[in-house]
Chain A
Amino acid sequence: MLRLFSTIQKELILLFRDRGGLAIMFLMPVAMITIMALIQDAPFRDYQELKIPLLLVNNDKGNLGTTIEAGLKESKIFEITKQNSDEAAVKKIIKGGNYEIGIIIPPNATQLLNEKVNQFVSKKLSDVGLSDSTPTRVNNTPEELKLLIFFSPETKKSFKASILSSLKQSTSKLETQTLLTYFSKELNKENTEIKTEQRMDDFINFDEVNTVETPKEALLLNSVQHNVPAWTIFGMFFIVISMSGSIIKERDDGSYTRLLTMPGSYITVLAGKITAYLFICLTQCFLMLMVGIYLLPHLGLPQLVIGNSIPAIILTALFTGLAATGYGVMVGTLFRTHQQSSTFGAVSVVILAALGGIWVPVYVMPDAIRMFSEFSPLYWALSAFHKIFLNEGNVVSVLPYLVKLIAFFGCTILTAFAINKIRKA
């Protein structure tokens, strides 16, 4: 134990005296968290509170135009601008890029709808012998009712489909209502009573049920909830540079050789080194979470919500730290110079971070890239933190990620030992 504690003490003294290293380990993640949270705040809000600019030309004076307009407003996803323009002008405006969608409701749209419905009802009733008179308008085929929809050239197919479906939904109710009104009128002639003055209710209703029962309001992934754990993990993994540098320096200056000639296993020395760096990782994590809870709200950002499972947070931080230090040991053993290890360490951590969803959430990545995310330890760590922070995760629910992180630690340490063994031969 003396050897272990003495190594921990020595490593901590060395770490605290390396001011440049400390700045990288602590100030860099704070700066990254603050800057990225501020930068990404607006895009995250846009993503969640998306308002699509829509240009509406409502030439109809009747129910149909009003219903469509009301439906669009109710959906709360459009920022509606009303304007009186013709087809060519709307087309030009949409192409100009200021609006994602343009809709033109033709004049007399309500009247055309009524005519079409009336003709349809009369024909159907006549077919079954319930109507004694064929409407006079039946012979005159009504003008086709067409709503014109313009999409910006950049609009995705799936988005177009969802908009069309939304419009269809808001107009179908009116169609049905009109249909019933006309049926009622015709049947009333046959002394059958159907009250149609009542507003027709939906037969099937959809209720959105929140899957998370947080004590506070339901929490969505916002800039703070993403960036604080993300850059904390990044900072923890950046310890690779300092740790691998320390291993290489010890090897270069002969201290490693001296340590090997001393009694006891080198594993104890390595355990001491890992423990010291793990302590730094945990301190980093604690401080970064404090930044999210106490500092970011002062900058106009939401406060970090850390869920309810402190043990899960501690274990996730611990296992993430182990994965980071194990990676540091492996890089330090694999490379012969500090320059090689620092370059590889930095680049590999940045790549693993990008794949792991540190820069941008994994769900916005293409499928091909998302596949690789599954192999990034930073992704496992981030997923565990998201599970705890956003989904009321606990130790059990983050266990799969913890297992992966500890397995990664084991693999890196074994690789380092294998490299040493090969070199010793």
Chain B
Amino acid sequence: MTTPSVAVEVKHLFKTYKGATSPAVNNISFSIESKSIFGLLGPNGAGKTTTISILCGLIQPSKGDVALLGLSLKNNLEEIKQRIGIVPQEIALYPALTAYENLRYIGNMYGLKGSALKKTISEHLEIVGLQAHANSRVETFSGGMKRRINLIAGILHQPEILFLDEPTVGVDVQSRNLITEHLRLLNKQGCTIIYTSHLMEEAENLCSDITIVDNGEIIISGKPKQLITENHTENLEQLFLKLTGKKIRD
């Protein structure tokens, strides 16, 4: 299966929730190159989660077209689901199951089984330093360990596009470093990474492209270094505050 040069193509996307007075996503269009690390950034309530949810097929857009890996989301949802991976912000694992049992279940849900699955799980656990804890219940893990398992759960089936929602929130520096290193490795192996975060320093270092959204609209897109220079700021955080303001969002 060949990966097209554009991993994600979004055209005139709208989403208005039932009963809402204004759209959560208001006519946004963007494209994401294959094998890039794309940061979708914005303050709370900007429309990031809604956009990601539409791209993952979790919610239907009110209007607009979305294509992933050259396939229309509307008509090829099942195939797209098999080729994308999700790492939600929540620790979407079963605490009473062991790390291995959690990963086996998720692998099975993607159609992986037998010794191949066992080998994949073992390799990933080794990379994130949790092989020794494979048979321990997730409920006994620290926050950082849970985050690492949460990441593996999204990449076991070797997705071509990986969506990550705040993958390093609330973890120690070492775990965060391990996660971002692993994401870079995945990207080198050809995985397109779409990432949301409030950690601007992390986004600046990790992302090859970023888009900042606010009030459901795109306010800027481009390469982080280029945008920082063009807007006469020192770093991404300053650029972010300059564009979205210092007013606290709920």
Contacts and interface: CB of A to CB of B under 8 A. Distances in A.
Contact of B59 (A6, A18, A264, A424): A424
A2 B113 contact: yes
B210 interface: no
Contacts of B94: 10, 14, 255
A257 B58 CA distance: 8
B149 interface: no
Interface string B153-183: 1100000000000000000000000000000
B81 A262 contact: yes
A53 B50 CA distance: 77
Contact of A17 (B82, B96, B153): B96
Contacts of B106: 258, 262
Given A10-B94, A257-B92, A263 B78 contact: yes
A31 B76 CA distance: 53
Interface in A149-181: none
A420 B186 CA distance: 35
A18 B137 CA distance: 13
A197 interface: no
Consensus secondary structure, chain B interface? loop
A422 to B, nearest CB: 8
A14 B105 CA distance: 12
Given A253-B91, A254-B89, A255-B92, A262 B18 contact: no
Interface residues of B, number: 31
Q: Per DSSP, are chain A's interface residues mostly helix, strand or loop, or mixed?
A: helix
A13 B97 contact: yes
B56 interface: yes
Given A253-B91, A258-B88, A263-B82, A13 B109 contact: no
B121 to A, nearest CB: 14
Contact of B93 (A252, A253, A425): A253
Given A2-B111, A253-B92, A424-B59, A258 B86 contact: yes
B228 to A, nearest CB: 33
A424 B58 CA distance: 8
B97 A264 contact: no
Given A259-B109, A260-B58, A263-B111, A10 B101 contact: yes
Given A3-B109, A18-B96, A263 B153 contact: no
A6 B58 contact: no
Interface in B116-143: none
Contacts of B92: 253-255, 257-258
A147 B94 CA distance: 79
Interface residues of A, number: 25
A234 B87 CA distance: 40
Contacts of B190: none
B81 A263 contact: yes
Contact of A261 (B60, B84, B91, B105): B84
B43 to A, nearest CB: 22
Contact of A257 (B60, B88, B110, B153): B88
A14 B95 CA distance: 9
Contacts of B97: 10, 13-14
Contacts of B111: 2-3, 263
B96 A14 contact: yes
A304 B236 CA distance: 75
Interface in A383-425: 424-425
A13 B101 CA distance: 9
Contacts of B90: 252-254, 257
B92 to A, nearest CB: 4
Nearest to B87: A258
A260 B53 CA distance: 11
B93 A255 contact: yes
B24 to A, nearest CB: 13
A128 B153 CA distance: 110
A9 B56 CA distance: 27
A256 to B, nearest CB: 8
A261 B85 CA distance: 8
A214 to B, nearest CB: 47
A220 B78 CA distance: 58
Given A10-B101, A257-B92, A261-B86, 18 more contacts: A6-B108, A10-B94, A13-B96, A14-B97, A253-B90, A254-B89, A254-B90, A254-B92, A257-B58, A258-B106, A258-B153, A258-B154, A259-B109, A260-B58, A262-B106, A263-B82, A263-B109, A424-B60
29 contacts: A3-B108, A3-B109, A3-B111, A6-B104, A6-B109, A10-B97, A10-B101, A10-B105, A13-B97, A13-B101, A14-B96, A18-B96, A253-B92, A257-B58, A257-B86, A257-B88, A257-B90, A257-B92, A258-B106, A260-B57, A260-B58, A261-B81, A261-B86, A262-B110, A263-B81, A263-B82, A263-B109, A263-B110, A424-B59
Top 5 closest A-B pairs, CB basis? A254-B90, A254-B92, A6-B108, A254-B88, A263-B81
